[in-house]
Amino acid sequence: MQVDFDFTGRHVVVFGGTTGINFGIAHAFARQGAGLTVASRKPENVEAAVAELRGHGGEVHGVCADVRDFDAVGRALQESVDRFGPIDVLVSGAAGNFLCEAKDMSSNGFKVVVDIDLVGSFHVLRQAHAHLRKPGASVISITAPQSFVPMRYQAHACAAKAGVDQLTRVLALEWGGEGVRINSISPGPIDGTEGFRKLMAPSAAERAYAQDAVPLKRFGSLDDIANLALFLASPYAGYISGALIPCDGGGAFESVKPALEAAGQAMAAAGAG
């Protein structure tokens, strides 16, 4: 189920917006008439996303940029601003992850996830600041329950997402005076996504066990997250800033942690992820 908000004539940028959860968010804003830019690394992902998003409402632009490259992020944002004007809504959701026990993780393996999730988030937010509509812009970071639920095999992602949460809180303090709101969405296990596949590709029995452990008895959907993003970007959320909002069926991650870790153990042992 999708909710309705009108973003006609608004400029929305979604970093990491070409697949999965962030693509679901981009799709929702396209349907609501926004002028939309989606950005990620791989040209094939950007092309496919733009092809899928066009014709659903507002004008759509795609751009290739790696969030680890500060200047490339700046160029991508400038392109979007040249086309659509000041940014009304910025979603920062690019991330990478794999399962590996910390004692076996290389320095570069730890660094790559911190560079994408945390340093990349800083690059996106920092480069966007000059272009945000002031007052009025809404910034949304996509974090994860790993930021506060310690998870085996995810030292890099836990550390990085905890940093993303603190970035949200600090920027809410620093940018609030300019009329910019910034919040984080923390999705639970969202079915059909790369993150779900990478972190819990369990057997049918494990999947059923994990689903039953979720207080609301189901995994999340793309629409669950997209609807929250639409709300946070809307005037109805006008007094919400610096918030970290779980959208996880009632503490799902903590509930499914044993199942996740069992699946993770098997996958890490097999060298998958």
Which residues sit at the interface with ligand COA, rule CB under 6 A?
A: 95-98, 100, 106, 108-109, 112-113, 194-195, 198, 273
Residue partners of 14: CB distance under 8 A and separation at least 6? 22, 23, 25, 26, 29, 36, 37, 38, 39, 91, 93
CB of 234 to ligand NAP, least distance (A): 21
Residue partners of 62: CB distance under 8 A and separation at least 6? 18, 37, 38, 39, 46, 47, 49, 50
Q: Are the C-beta atoms of 94 and 68 separated by less than 8 Å?
A: no
The answer to whether 189 contacts ligand NAP (rule: CB under 6 A) is yes
CA pair distance 257, 273, nearest whole angstrom: 17
| Burial class of residue 159 (count of CB atoms within 10 Å of its CB; 0-12, 13-18, 19+) | middle
Return the residue of 13, 34, 77, 95 that touches ligand NAP, per CB under 6 A.
95
Q: Is the dihedral of CA 119, 125, 129, 130 positive or negative?
A: positive
Return the residue of 85, 86, 179, 195 that touches ligand NAP, per CB under 6 A.
195
Return the residue of 42, 75, 111, 217 that touches ligand NAP, per CB under 6 A.
42
CA pair distance 32, 10, nearest whole angstrom: 10
Q: Choose among 196, 199, 248, 192: nearest CA to 225.
A: 248
Return the residue of 93, 163, 202, 249 that touches ligand NAP, per CB under 6 A.
93
The answer to whether 16 contacts ligand NAP (rule: CB under 6 A) is yes
The answer to whether 66 contacts ligand NAP (rule: CB under 6 A) is yes
CB of 16 to ligand NAP, least distance (A): 3
CB of 8 to ligand NAP, least distance (A): 25
The answer to whether 221 contacts ligand NAP (rule: CB under 6 A) is no
User: Residue 16 or 58: which CB sits closer to ligand NAP?
Assistant: 16
Q: Are the C-beta atoms of 138 and 171 separated by less than 8 Å?
A: no
The answer to whether 190 contacts ligand NAP (rule: CB under 6 A) is yes
Q: Are the C-beta atoms of 190 and 95 separated by less than 8 Å?
A: no
CB of 112 to ligand COA, least distance (A): 4
Q: Are the C-beta atoms of 223 and 2 separated by less than 8 Å?
A: yes
User: Residue 24 or 96: which CB sits closer to ligand COA?
Assistant: 96
User: Residue 40 or 168: which CB sits closer to ligand NAP?
Assistant: 40
**Using CB distances below 5 to 8 A depending on partner kind, what does residue 16 bind out of ligand NAP, ligand COA, none?**
ligand NAP
Candidates 60-68, 167-175, 238-246, 263-271; binding stretch for ligand NAP (CB under 6 A): 60-68
Q: Where does this chain bind ligand NAP (CB under 6 A)?
A: 16, 18-22, 40-42, 45, 66-68, 93-96, 116, 120, 142, 144, 187, 189-190, 193-196
